[in-house]
Structure 1
């Protein structure tokens, strides 16, 4: 799905539908429930289902010291939203001009003038306008004045816990990627540029691709089962996130061992799904004991990741 970055690029067919405004970070199951209602409303009004989001997160400008690391980059977010049936994603380049608009100004300029919305769907904790002065009661008043419908979709719970982006962020930060996978609409994913490492993995028989420039939240240090993506190609992978204490290397690294290939992928952007956490990162008393553990890790990671890729109908290593 192409992401609309500027409102003047919004085509006429993207206007006059049902709209939801928010960050949609991670695109979790609560978001999916909201989008289901958004699609219903879009069908009723005979227009598109549109998500209006922000790039960057407004907190990065207003409270940069407190802004959390994102769970998704904009293109990935749009991809996940498209999978849920969204027709258009507007990722507005957040600036102080937008953030200085009062609630009524924001409503008139964005929802009425730009999007020509006929229906709005939001969660109960929606705030808008300067200093977050507008809430769902304010929005209901404005929507009624313009003849728009407004639906408020309640959050969903799993095992008594309310799903939210902040709670998903906590799970990922703790390395609980398996539970995060249950809360998200797709496994947690990062991306980075494939670069050369120290070459120790190759010496041990487990060559790795080092990922640099990761721009989203990193899970806790540990060894994980994962799936690696390069364009439309995919492989099962064993992932090591953290230091290499066996060799006295304490720098945090993201190392990806692609199972079943020895292709050289340097200089390319790789995306990696975190499927399950296998163990902590720890020091071994010898290279031999480390190699033995790596063999066990790779065997488990291969089974977990291959099952996952086959569930998607993927042929490992191919498009």
Structure 2
């Protein structure tokens, strides 16, 4: 998949495509329906399938720390889109200059002149341009005069409820990982490079792999049973997502203790799939209480994986 970073990097060879536009946060089942339509149109017109997304996401630009929690970092989003078969992604830098562009200018200068869009698919609630003045009707009207077909994809439904990034955030905040998985189409995961931490876990007898949560707001917190992919191997473990209140931490971290794991993996990329929430994060009165609780968390996580394995075997008989 080709990544075009910024409108200024769109070249003549990128002119002529089939496009969809959005945040694609989480690349959930609703997004996948949009991508399926995009790929069908691209095949019919023999043009590259192209996704336009924004970094930072618009609400992060306007609302800063009050923005909704992000589900996926750019790297993870790109990996998921590539897996779905998207050929190109245009990652637009969402800044003051771009935000001040009128809706009509965006269509004429970016979509038509630079990208030469022949078919455009947008969500039914898509708004764009300065003051969010652009909508489907504007796209349709400008498209008709320029030879750009425009269609809206109805919101994908599952269990009579709209699949949306907002609904997934609410499920994660409530600790309902199964509901989140049902809407995402996969386990919710956090990924990143392992960094050096305070080494407190090692001192307490529970060494952890730490990943900085490079987002303004995290969609969930607490202690979870997890599976972590390190290289080509997968390990069970227990993880804390939060700011370590017992140690008066202020920076949000993902801390993962992997079972039967002794390797040093600083600097390596790790993907951590959250399987079940065990409890909320809270502050303990002393290290003895913390150690006792961690031991209990490990017991419960191992019980979860034992029961999951038993259920999988039973289901296959």
Name structure 1 gaps, 5 residues minimum.
308-319
**Which residue of 281, 290, 293 corresponds with 1:290?**
293
Give TM-score scaled by structure 2 length. Answer: 0.84
**Residue in structure 2 matched with residue 77 of structure 1 by the alignment:** 77
Deviation at 1:125, TM superposition (A): 0.3
Could you report, residue by residue, the CA deviation over 1:120-148 in whole angstroms, capped at 9, with x for unpaired residues? 01111011111110111111111111122
The structure-2 alpha-carbon separation of the partners of 1:8 and 1:305, relative to structure 1 and needing over 3 Å to count, comes to: farther
**Residue in structure 1 matched with residue 221 of structure 2 by the alignment:** 221
> Does the 8 A contact of 1:30 with 1:163 survive in 2?
yes
Matched residue SS, 1:36: helix
Could you report, residue by residue, the CA deviation over 1:179-234 in whole angstroms, capped at 9, with x for unpaired residues? 11111143222234422334345644x42223234326534332212222345554
1:108 matched to 2:108? The reply is: yes
Could you report, residue by residue, the CA deviation over 1:230-269 in whole angstroms, capped at 9, with x for unpaired residues? 4555433321234667xx4454653201233211123444
Pairing 1:1-319 to 2, within 5 Å after superposition? 1-10=1-10, 14-64=14-64, 66-192=66-192, 193-200=194-201, 203-204=204-205, 206-215=206-215, 217-230=217-230, 232-242=232-242, 248-249=246-247, 251=249, 253-281=253-281, 289-290=292-293, 292-300=295-303, 302-303=305-306
> Does the 8 A contact of 1:178 with 1:277 survive in 2?
no
The structure-2 alpha-carbon separation of the partners of 1:229 and 1:135, relative to structure 1 and needing over 3 Å to count, comes to: same
Using the TM superposition, name which of 285-294 and 80-89 deviates more. 285-294
Instruction: Work out the number of aligned pairs and report it.
Output: 304
**Residue in structure 1 matched with residue 313 of structure 2 by the alignment:** none
Using the TM superposition, name which of 294-303 and 268-277 deviates more. 294-303
The structure-2 alpha-carbon separation of the partners of 1:144 and 1:50, relative to structure 1 and needing over 3 Å to count, comes to: same
Using the TM superposition, name which of 178-187 and 101-110 deviates more. 178-187
> Does the 8 A contact of 2:65 with 2:217 survive in 1?
no
Give TM-score scaled by structure 1 length. Answer: 0.83
